[in-house]
Structure 1
Amino acid sequence: MAIAYRQQIDDDTEFALWKIEETAEDLYKQLQLDETEKAYTKKLSKSKRYLHWLGTRVLLRKMLGTEEYIDCKADSHGKPYLVSLPYHISLSHSFDYAAVMISKTSPVGIDIEQIKDKVERIAHKFMKPAELGFLEDKNIINQLYVCWCAKEAVYKCYGQKEVSFADNITLLPFTFQHHDALQAKLHKGAININYQVGYLQYEDYMIGYVKG
């Protein structure tokens, strides 16, 4: 499978989706891994998580246009980074899709989620009462997924632990469109950062993406 969707954000930033239709063996053959990564993948074998891990790495390789080894590590907060390439990256996956966002200039965050009705049951866990108040009845499921993906993208872009979606990330009111943007604010102690978060409904998935 080739890249299913690709969007250029600006001259230095883009994201893409990969529909995982290959077997784990086919994906594995497209990668060069060091011994630590090989040992890690053995722990994930025969699980959907294994396919997701492989899918994001194959997509990252395609986006960077290289067949050479890519040294991708995670920092102490779990944020992935490239050891020897000048790109900020963010990775996500959900069911049949992998998503990767890269930028030469700024931190980025991306999240992809398959849209399901059950999100309504947990909305109070990641939304403020004021945010729940601007939801539209006719689009409530889609809008809740935009909110979740936007907050997750901001969290990944900021790149540090101990951030509460409900307490530390605030979304301004927006009207749902299939492809649009909204305003978000991250506030924690003395930290106050404004973000413009893009979102896209792709098939039965929602994607949120942001550049810091």
Structure 2
Amino acid sequence: MGLVYLKEVNPHTRFAIWKIEETAEELLAKLQLNRSEKAFLERLNKGKRTLNWLGTRVLLRTMLDTPGYIDCPSDENGKPYLVNFPHKISLSHSFDYAACMLSTRYEVGIDMELVKPKIEVIASKFMKPEELAQLQPEHRYVEQLLTCWTAKEAVYKLQGKKGVSFKDNIYIEPFTYQEQGSSIVAHLQGPHQHAIYTVYYERFREFMLGYVMG
């Protein structure tokens, strides 16, 4: 299907979502890959992981709208970056969808998750007891938990360093969940950085999106 959603966050920043309905061969035909990227693909298990990786790269190419090669490696912490373009980037994928966020001014982070009740099972692993106590169990509880998860994941991706715990180093201020989307405040108190971020969230079809700039 291709591009299904594009949002201009501000004059410098935007993100988009791609629905992956192509085969791996069809996605590969849209890309230029170097030797190391081809070797990486060979190491992936054939199937969903390959499609997700290819889908994020096709979306990145679509957003940059260039006929040239896009050099997009990852650093020692696993954070992707662009060598031959000025943009900061963040990538995500969930099931048959890929997401990409670009900015020419800010570091960015984006996460996309399918809304499923199983998030309740692991809530205590990424939320402090006081964070859980601030939620409203009677109103869209699963969506609230996923808002917190995607916010923490987006902040984690923005800061780009390993050794940061969702539960111990990222704290979500009390908020009232809005079904049409809104923003929440996340405090990063990690070993590498202390900062406060406004994280935006919204529902896209059966998915929750969290995205942040800083």
TM-score, shorter chain, exceeding 0.5: yes
Give the CA deviation at 1:2. 2.9
The residue type equivalent to 2:59 in the other structure is L
Q: What secondary structure, in the 3-state scheme, does the structure 2 residue paired with 1:98 have? A: strand
Show CA shifts across 1:59-80 (max 9, x none). Answer: 0001111121100010011100
> Is the counterpart of residue 70 in structure 1 residue 59 in structure 2?
no
Residue number among 197, 201, 204 corresponding to 2:203 in the alignment:
201
- Separation (CA, whole Å) in 1 of partners of 2:70 and 2:22: 21
Give the CA deviation at 1:189. 4.9
Q: Mapping of 1:127-138 within 5 angstroms? A: 127-137=127-137, 138=139
Q: Whose strand proportion is higher, 1 or 2?
A: 1
Q: TM-score, normalised by structure 2?
A: 0.96
Q: TM-score, normalised by structure 1?
A: 0.97
- Separation (CA, whole Å) in 2 of partners of 1:86 and 1:66: 13
Partner residue, 1:188: 190
- Separation (CA, whole Å) in 2 of partners of 1:157 and 1:189: 15
Q: What secondary structure, in the 3-state scheme, does the structure 1 residue paired with 2:116 have? A: coil
Q: What secondary structure, in the 3-state scheme, does the structure 2 residue paired with 1:74 have? A: coil
- Separation (CA, whole Å) in 1 of partners of 2:76 and 2:119: 30
Q: What secondary structure, in the 3-state scheme, does the structure 1 residue paired with 2:208 have? A: strand
Partner residue, 2:154: 153
Q: Mapping of 1:93-104 within 5 angstroms? A: 93-104=93-104
Give the CA deviation at 1:188. 2.4
- Separation (CA, whole Å) in 2 of partners of 1:185 and 1:56: 28
The residue type equivalent to 2:187 in the other structure is K
Judged with a 3 Å threshold, the aligned counterparts in structure 2 of structure 1 residues 129 and 29 are, in CA distance, closer, same or farther, namely same
- Separation (CA, whole Å) in 2 of partners of 1:190 and 1:107: 15
Judged with a 3 Å threshold, the aligned counterparts in structure 2 of structure 1 residues 193 and 41 are, in CA distance, closer, same or farther, namely same
Off by >6 Å, runs of 4+ in structure 1: none
Partner residue, 2:15: 15
Show CA shifts across 1:157-198 (max 9, x none). Answer: 011110010110010111111311111110125832010000
The residue type equivalent to 1:65 in the other structure is D
- Separation (CA, whole Å) in 2 of partners of 1:56 and 1:206: 17
Partner residue, 1:106: 106
**For structure 1, which runs of at least 5 residues remain unmatched after alignment?**
none
The residue type equivalent to 1:75 in the other structure is D
- Separation (CA, whole Å) in 1 of partners of 2:143 and 2:73: 33
Show CA shifts across 1:39-72 (max 9, x none). Answer: 1112225220000000000000011111211000
Give the CA deviation at 1:84. 1.2
The residue type equivalent to 1:143 in the other structure is Q
**For structure 2, which runs of at least 5 residues remain unmatched after alignment?**
none
Judged with a 3 Å threshold, the aligned counterparts in structure 2 of structure 1 residues 44 and 188 are, in CA distance, closer, same or farther, namely closer
Q: What secondary structure, in the 3-state scheme, does the structure 1 residue paired with 2:141 have? A: helix
> Is the counterpart of residue 4 in structure 1 residue 4 in structure 2?
yes
In angstroms, what is the RMSD of aligned CA positions? 1.1
Q: What secondary structure, in the 3-state scheme, does the structure 1 residue paired with 2:161 have? A: coil
Aligned length: 212
Q: Mapping of 1:112-123 within 5 angstroms? A: 112-123=112-123
> Is the counterpart of residue 141 in structure 1 residue 142 in structure 2?
yes
Q: What secondary structure, in the 3-state scheme, does the structure 1 residue paired with 2:174 have? A: coil
